[in-house]
Structure 1
Amino acid sequence: MPDFPEWLEVILRSLILMVVLFTITKILGSKQLSQMNVFEYVTGVVLGGIVAIHTFDPNSHIIYAIIAMLIWFFVPFAAQKIALKSKSFRNFVEGKSTVFIQDGKIMEDNLKKQGYSTDDLLEKLRQRDVFLADDVEFAVLEPDGTLNVLPKRENRPLTAKDLGIKLAPQKEPQTVIMDGKVLYESLANLNLNLAWLETELEKLNVSIENVFLGQADTDGQLYVDLFDDTIAVPSPNEKPLLLATMKKCQADLELFALATENSQSKTLYQTNSKKLQAAIDKIEKYLN
């Protein structure tokens, strides 16, 4: 590099190497930032070391730092591509899962291979909210050190499927307002539009620019948090109101049937009352 004061050279080196390191990390993917295997961990340490050494050593050539970083980029990048196509290479680079408990039986030999003691296993189980090893049907240690646990059937929480209840499909909630600005793509994901959003906000007597965060679910209910924390916003009540309205209509039909002396009208009211009650029975679990 040209002759600069050392403090300025450190700043320039830091900025250049920071950009290179950031670019390499982005290309290698977010996996580098979370569940790293041994190979990825070593790569991260070495890249950080290269940046540190060449940042504070004015006598080193920055081009050497970039060359070294590119080597440590291309090798992991190539390893990732090969691992996607080769199971054996993937097992060598990323490691394999190890079964610790199978069919309710602790696999002592596998514990020893991984250097785990009984106390280590129990600690891992407690981290998964399991305090009795006998409650576990299957447990596997993942290459990143995470222990995944399958409790025995009698120890698992009941689900709608266990109870024979069919639930309507549900998409993830979408953030439709952030920092007072509408996110139109999120609205479209729920098949909603700006007119619907403005109508819902009008019900709450709130304007868009006063909303810090607004989220909508698949049922079309809007949840908002305002910039002004002293203002309380009521929770969505469309579903309870719909159920209450349907029950009131059904009760009114029963009353009309009792009040009228016309047999044809009485039959009509009773028939529609039964139909409405059948509809209420089918959807009540979704509206409660």
Structure 2
Amino acid sequence: MLIVVTRTLILYALVVIALRLMGKREIGQLQPFDLVGIIMISELAAIPAENVGIPLIAGIIPIIVILFASTLLAVLELKSERARALLNGTPSVLIARGKIVEAELKRNRYNLTDLLVELRIKNVPNISDVEFAVLETNGQLSILPKSLKRPATPEDFGIAPSYEGLPSVLVMDGKLQKNNFERDKIDLPWFLNELKKQNIHRIEDVFLASLDTCGTLFIQKKLKR
């Protein structure tokens, strides 16, 4: 039993490292060669993990080979536009100026039901409101509404809103994020005083505290257990 556990942990660690080296793309953003690599790696890791009669190296070497091949293809994809088109395909325009391109639907085996579902998900239920709908190489549908149907922006009204960046997390689950205090030059005594104003006397009692670029402090206290 101990041998099985040890082999499984080794293969698990190897698969995690392999997937980490392959990049941070989500499943929905994977290109075909990425997806094939992940499926093969998982299958190759499962075989020696289940059968102790198979040498562990018989699972490790193929995983390393696939990782090497996937990395090589990724580099090739970055260097060559032709290789990128060959490996990943090219985007397809499914809707052009409010009209469905039937030939592209058939070529990509993309049915009308799926198209209408994707439009509803993107809050564009009417095909006539779509300027272009592009099926990307990762299978996602990009939708560009017609100019009159796009949400208004501050620029449309000649408004220049103030800068809005990412909030700085000061406390997370009762732990002070010292690096963020130093990076954003936030005064710790000021923060502790703000906690006292909300009747919080210990950092450990804070579930989450963050400060946005406008100076607004958000504090949520932990629930009592």
Q: Which amino acid aligns with 2:211?
A: A
- Is 1:174 the counterpart of 2:168 in the alignment? yes
- 1:58-69 mapped onto 2 (5 Å cutoff): 58-69=52-63
SS in 1 for 2:157: coil
Task: Give me the whole-angstrom Cα distance separating, in 2, the residues matched to 1:36 and 1:68.
Answer: 21
Percent identity (aligned): 33
SS in 2 for 1:225: strand
Q: Which moved more, 1:150-159 or 1:182-191?
A: 182-191
CA RMSD of aligned residues (A): 1.8
**Corresponding position of 1:211:** 206
**Corresponding position of 1:227:** 222
TM-superposed CA distance for 1:32, in Å, is 6.0
TM-superposed CA distance for 1:33, in Å, is 4.5
TM-superposed CA distance for 1:67, in Å, is 0.8
**Corresponding position of 1:57:** 51
**Higher helix content, 1 or 2:** 1
Q: How many residues align?
A: 224
- Is 1:140 the counterpart of 2:137 in the alignment? no
When normalised by structure 1's length, the TM-score is 0.73
SS in 2 for 1:100: strand
Deviation string for 1:192-213 (max 9, x for gaps)?
A: 2213312322332322232111
Over alpha carbons, which structure has the higher Rg? 1
Task: Give me the whole-angstrom Cα distance separating, in 2, the residues matched to 1:117 and 1:32.
Answer: 24
CA contact (8 A) 1:211 1:227 kept: yes
Task: Give me the whole-angstrom Cα distance separating, in 2, the residues matched to 1:164 and 1:173.
Answer: 26
TM-superposed CA distance for 1:188, in Å, is 4.2
- Is 1:121 the counterpart of 2:107 in the alignment? no
Deviation string for 1:23-63 (max 9, x for gaps)?
A: 11111112264511211111111111111111112221111
Q: Which moved more, 1:7-16 or 1:60-69?
A: 7-16
Task: Give me the whole-angstrom Cα distance separating, in 1, the residues matched to 2:224 and 2:82.
Answer: 56
When normalised by structure 2's length, the TM-score is 0.92
Task: Give me the whole-angstrom Cα distance separating, in 2, the residues matched to 1:229 and 1:215.
Answer: 21
1:95 pairs with 79, 89, 98, which one? 89
For structure 2, the 5+ residue unaligned runs are none
SS in 2 for 1:199: helix
SS in 1 for 2:34: helix
Q: Which amino acid aligns with 1:72?
A: I
CA contact (8 A) 1:174 1:217 kept: yes
CA contact (8 A) 1:176 1:183 kept: yes
CA contact (8 A) 1:184 1:193 kept: no
CA contact (8 A) 2:28 2:138 kept: no
Task: Give me the whole-angstrom Cα distance separating, in 1, the residues matched to 2:69 and 2:177.
Answer: 40
TM-superposed CA distance for 1:129, in Å, is 1.7
- Is 1:39 the counterpart of 2:25 in the alignment? no
Alpha carbons of structure 1 residues 140 and 77: separation in structure 2 relative to 1, 3 Å: same
CA contact (8 A) 2:28 2:140 kept: no
Higher relative contact order (CA 8 A, sep 6+): 2
TM-superposed CA distance for 1:222, in Å, is 0.9
Task: Give me the whole-angstrom Cα distance separating, in 2, the residues matched to 1:9 and 1:34.
Answer: 36
SS in 1 for 2:131: strand
Alpha carbons of structure 1 residues 177 and 26: separation in structure 2 relative to 1, 3 Å: same
CA contact (8 A) 2:170 2:178 kept: yes
Alpha carbons of structure 1 residues 174 and 190: separation in structure 2 relative to 1, 3 Å: same
Task: Give me the whole-angstrom Cα distance separating, in 2, the residues matched to 1:229 and 1:162.
Answer: 48
CA contact (8 A) 1:37 1:95 kept: no
Q: Which moved more, 1:115-124 or 1:59-68?
A: 115-124
Q: Which amino acid aligns with 2:208?
A: L
For structure 1, the 5+ residue unaligned runs are 1-6, 231-288
SS in 2 for 1:41: helix
**Corresponding position of 1:110:** 104
Task: Give me the whole-angstrom Cα distance separating, in 2, the residues matched to 1:114 and 1:188.
Answer: 52
